[in-house]
Structure 1
Amino acid sequence: MDAMLRNVILMGVSLMLIFTAFQTTGIIEQTVISSVKTDDPSFNGDGYLSLAIIYAAFATANWLAPSILSLSGPKYGMIMGAIPYIIFVGCFLKPTTWSLYLTSVLVGIGAAVLWTAQGNYLTLNSNETTMGRNSGIFWAIFQCSMLFGNIFVFYAFDGLSYIEEHTRRLVFLVLLGVSIAGLLLAFLLGTVSHSDAIANEAPLQALKEAPKLLVTQQMFLLCFTFIYTGLELSFFSGVYSTAIGFTLAFGERAKRLVGLSGVFIGVGEIFGGLLFGILGKKTTRYGRDPVVLLGCLVHLGCFYLIFLNLPDDSPFGKTSHLAPIESSTHCDNNYFLLFFFLFHHSANLAMLCSFLLGFGDACFNTQVIALLGILYSENSAPAFAIFKFFQSLAAAACFFYSGSIGLHYQLLILVVTVIGGTYSFWWVDWTRTSPSLEIDSVDDDAGTDVDAQGAQ
């Protein structure tokens, strides 16, 4: 194992610990807040609004991230960006409305720096031959964050329909300790020598690079893919698991299923990362576009199953309404009846959809990260800043409308954007490898290695 691969693995473990705390907090946030309001009527915070603020601040701060990295470098950029995540988790030990929203703003700013630094650091520790492998390995390690915290929550919330203060405090104390351990581990990251332009630019010049890059044809088209990754990120990280927890048809196990859903999402993410990282030469033998098409088809099927399985009003609060799969038992549609027979009470189907959400997300993100790392290997920070800007802007929009638009219309938005995002990625990848089109001159040999990341 060379020094660069060690850096990638160490970065993955560090961010995995930090996001074990943060992603678990995001998944259970709305569920926990509903219990906090029972104890403290003066508390009027909203989980969806908190997450929307995070991603809105994230999107705005992304334009400043390259300038900050030109001063700090990627290692210390990740460290600085991680600190607000720890503060955010800690605020749930004694939640107040003002601290929830203030720390949400801080997390958004920190996220912009952290994820731009992560993409830059991954690129600097890779080359065209290893970029796909390294991004896949990082993705698989990082997405273990979806497992550990959610397994803990699954057992901590066992049999609880109301999350009392003692349980909340215990959960967030553990998550806070885990996030601090991840921050300390980041100090052990090695430094690398490189020729990346961001290291040699003044902050003002670095600030100008991202807008200049955005108006290029291939980056403009990739923005449609970035937008979809943001919408589906917010859906599976904040909306879907919450909708499961509010569906009374699941009975007393509904709150436990919130954590278990996160576990299955994580399993799907890890499986995808390993499949497209370690086995990258085989899975991307014909390019990256088939992998993205696989992710598209997986998500389209998943969205249809979620439509069948959960009530339209499940993201808003506790609901006793029937899902289409259950109400269909009163009609003569044999297709619906078959699903009902196989997935009675919906819990098994809900967990299957969680896995499919994670796996499809891995299909998109591993390929997007690897493609950016190859196309913009000499100027990666602005490229990743643009990626995170559009991803976080879309995520913020999703969280803003999640509290007012029914689940089924949210699924329709995802269906439309996944088709558009897949097509735009295909166009860029085709033109990049076609000898008859001169979009750029990057050789595609690295495409046989495959491809990670994500943010939040």
Structure 2
Amino acid sequence: MNQRRFGLLCAVMLGFGQLCMFTGFDAESFILESVIHSIHEREPERISSYAGYYGQAVIYAFYMISCLFSPSIAAVSTPKINLILAATFFSAFPLGFLFTNSYYYYASSALVGIGFALFYQGQGGYLTSHSTRNTIESNVSISWSVGSCCMILGSAIMATITHLSSATTEHIMGSLNVTSEAHKMERQFGELEINLLFSAFTGISVLGIITFFVMPSKDVENCIESSSEKKETFLEALKLTCSTLVSPTMLQLFPLFVLSGFNTSFWLSVFPTAMSFTMQNSKLIYLAAVYSLGVGSGEVIIGLAISFLSKRIKDFGQKPTMTIGAIFITMYCAMIHMSTPYDAPIRPTSKEPLFFGHSYLLALIIGLFCGIGDCCVNSVRSVICALLMPKRRPQAFSVSKIYHAFGSTILFFMSPITPLYVYTIGLPILAIIATILFFSISKRTQIMERKMTEASKNAAEIGKKLNF
């Protein structure tokens, strides 16, 4: 097998492993608070009613802390080991829902947070060791495209299992002559549906471990950065990460990084919970699956569009992409504001929305806009971290994720008491602030790149004259 095909194989396998890891996690996040609320109502002593929010706060708190050390771990480990450990930690989380217990739940949440940090360090290291300067953009795009299908696959799993379990439930209700009064409540998840869902999520997560285990570990020729060459010690990498954390430039990008955390957590968990807690949606049992399909489709469509346009329009991945992201975040927040009761993220509610209620079509459109906005913001974050500090790329990426996780942690801890309108008004405002500050940093980065390019050309011309 030639080097190009070998690199493509590695990129596809990495993307497939990511798909397996995140299919369960993303689908779980859509329904987690609703599932736990359903368990709590049946057995209050097993778990707290808001453990869904608090558990995700624990995930991102440990993710934030782990990101501080992940570049140091990468300095003494290998990308493949980090990926296997990350997939193992992710697999432990859905397994706990087959025997729901508060202690295991929070412990496995902490492991998922650590797994996040290990995965992103392993992913970046694996790509750079299996790509050259000429193939890195293609490999990243291929890996990301395969991995981003996780929400589409998650949508199919949720729809199939919901259909099977609802048919069984309706048969039981019919045999017991249960009236339609049962529909005058929020979306409920029965024991059968929970067991089927989380068994499927566990199974596909285990497939991710197997995929990472059998991936080739040999570097390609002329790779960007070999996984076997360690440039820093654990402590040296930690000191570099700490100094990057308080860098004035990174602090100026703080609103962008926090926006990515707030935004992802809102569309991934808070809004799906609000749909489930809205009693008018009790008969729309496929809402979460349709919404997940919309988000996944939006991510893939805009990702391919950014990849295509970036090859034809210089710096399209910076200011234009950030602008598109801010616009779509504002649009989906406006749609949610008009269609969702203000107290829906906090408790089951029968209150009426401002203008119109939810439907499958609306959930699909909102999901599509969420996916577009999220992909744009995260693409911009990746681009600016890669360009802004060329000598500290691992540290810049880790710091961006620390701030991202900080935003998510705050959001989830506050979610049990925060009305919906705080999110739908606050996110667009933060997006505007982040866009303004990003434009300033982007302009400065482009000027720096031009100066570096001119200096390289001048050095090359001087070298030609000396040789002549």
Whether 2:378 is the aligned partner of 1:351: answer: no
Take 2:122 and 2:387, find their aligned partners in 1: how far apart are those partners?
Answer: 16
Structure with bigger gyration radius? 2
Map Cα deviations across residues 239-297 of structure 1 (whole Å, 9 max, x no partner): 111111111222411x4202221121111111112112245313656552101111111
Q: How much has 1:373 moved relative to structure 2?
A: 3.0
Q: Shift of residue 79 of structure 1?
A: 1.6
Q: Deviations over 1:13-59 (max 9, x none)?
A: 11111111111112111111122123323112310000011001110
Amino acid in the other structure paired with 1:299 = I
Contact 1:119–1:380 (Cα < 8 Å) also in 2: no
1:95 aligns with 2:100: yes
TM-score (norm 1): 0.86
Greater RCO structure (CA 8 Å; 6+ sep): 1
- 1:50–1:100 contact (8 Å) kept in structure 2: yes
1:52 aligned residue (57, 61, 81): 57
Q: What is the identity, as a one-letter code, of the residue corresponding to 2:188?
A: Y
* Distance (whole Å) between structure 2 residues aligned to residue 325 and residue 62 of structure 1: 42
Measured after TM superposition, the shift of residue 417 of structure 1 is 1.6
Q: Does 1:203 align with 2:234?
A: yes
Equivalent in 399, 423, 428 of residue 410 of structure 1:
423
> Do structure 1's residue 190 and structure 2's residue 181 form an aligned pair?
no
How far does residue 182 in structure 1 lie from its aligned partner after superposition?
A: 1.0
Alignment partners' CA distance in 1, 2:362 and 2:379: 26
195-204 vs 381-390, greater mean Cα deviation: 195-204
Mapping of residues 32-431 of structure 1, within 5 Å: 32-45=35-48, 46-126=51-131, 130-158=135-163, 159=166, 161-187=187-213, 188-192=215-219, 194-195=224-225, 199-253=230-284, 255-282=285-312, 286=316, 288-326=318-356, 345-431=358-444
- How big is each residue's C-alpha offset from its partner over 1:206-264, in whole Å with a ceiling of 9 and x where there is no partner? 111112223434333233211110110100111111111111222411x4202221121
C-alpha contact 1:374 1:442 (8 A) present in aligned 2: no
Deviates more, 1:106-115 or 1:156-165: 156-165
Change in 2 beyond 3 A, CA 1:437/1:428 = farther
Secondary structure class of the residue paired with 2:431: helix
State whether residues 306 and 350 of structure 1, in contact with CA within 8 Å, keep that contact through their aligned partners in structure 2. no
Report the alpha carbon displacement of residue 96 of structure 1 after superposing the two structures with TM. 0.7
Question: Helix, strand or coil for the counterpart of 2:355?
Answer: helix
Q: Which amino acid aligns with 1:392?
A: A
| Distance across 1 between alignment mates of 2:434 and 2:226 | 28
Q: Distance in 2 between matches of 1:211 and 1:283?
A: 36
Q: CA deviation at 1:372?
A: 2.4
Deviates more, 1:240-249 or 1:280-289: 280-289
Aligned-partner Cα distance in 1 for 2:449–2:146: 38
Cα deviations by residue, 1:300-346 (Å, 9 ceiling, x for unpaired): 111111101101011122211111114xxxxxxxxxxxxxxxxx654
Deviations 1:117-136, CA, capped at 9 Å, x for gaps: 22333344456655544443
Change (3 A) 1:286 1:111: closer
**What amino acid sits opposite 1:113 in the alignment?**
L
Q: Does the 8 Å CA contact 1:82/1:183 hold for their aligned counterparts? A: yes
User: Counterpart of 1:449?
Assistant: none
| In structure 1, distance between residues paired with 2:358 and 2:29 | 26
How many pairs were matched up? 424
> Does the CA-based 8 Å contact 1:137-1:273 persist in structure 2?
no
In structure 2, the partner of 1:17 is 20
The amino acid that maps onto 2:336 is I
User: TM-score normalised to the size of structure 2?
Assistant: 0.84
- C-alpha separation in 1, matches of 2:194 and 2:390: 44
The Cα RMSD (Å) is: 2.5
The whole-number CA distance in structure 2 between the counterparts of 1:425 and 1:196 is 32
Cα 1:283/1:100, change in 2 over 3 Å: farther
One-letter code of the match for 1:245?
S
- State percent identity of aligned pairs: 26
CA distance in 2, matches of 1:317, 1:283: 47
Instruction: Tell me if structure 2 keeps the 8 A contact 1:302–1:356.
Output: yes
- Whether the 8 Å CA contact 1:58–1:112 is kept in 2: the answer is yes
Counterpart of 2:364 in structure 1: which amino acid? M
1:243–1:104: structure 2 CA closer, same or farther, 3 Å change rule? Answer: same
Q: Which runs of 5+ in 1 are unaligned?
A: 327-343, 444-456
Query: Structure 1 residues 383, 3: CA separation in 2 closer, same or farther (over 3 Å shift)?
Result: farther
The structural deviation recorded for 1:412 is 2.0
> Which whole-Å CA distance do the structure 2 matches of 1:307 and 1:52 have between them?
24
127 and 219 in structure 1: CA distance in 2 versus 1, 3 angstrom threshold: farther
Compare 353-362 and 408-417 and name the one that shifted more: 408-417
Q: Secondary structure at the match of 2:253?
A: helix
Contact 2:38 2:188 in 1 (8 A): yes
Counterpart of 1:243 in structure 2: which amino acid? A
Q: CA deviation at 1:377?
A: 5.0
| Equivalent position amino acid for 1:282 in 2 | R
Q: 1: distance between equivalents of 2:57 and 2:443?
A: 34
Moved more, 88-97 or 425-434: 425-434
Structure 2: give runs of 5+ residues left out of the alignment: 170-186, 456-468
Q: Are 1:196 and 1:379, in contact at CA under 8 Å, matched by a contact in 2?
A: no
Going from structure 1 to structure 2, the CA distance change for 1:7 and 1:220 (only over 3 Å counts) comes to farther
Amino acid at match of 2:156: I
Q: Which residue pairs with 2:462 in the alignment?
A: none
CA contact (8 A) 1:9 1:141 kept: yes
Once the 2 structures are TM-superposed, how far is the Cα of residue 351 of structure 1 from its aligned partner?
2.3
The residue number in structure 2 matching 1:450 is none
Task: Measure the CA separation in 1 of the matches of 2:437 and 2:129.
Answer: 26
8 Å Cα contact 2:39-2:47 kept in structure 1: no
CA displacement 1:176-232 (0-9 Å, x = unmatched): 111111111112143435547982211111111112223434333233211110110
With over 3 angstroms needed to count, the CA separation of the structure-2 counterparts of 1:285 and 1:390, relative to structure 1, is: closer
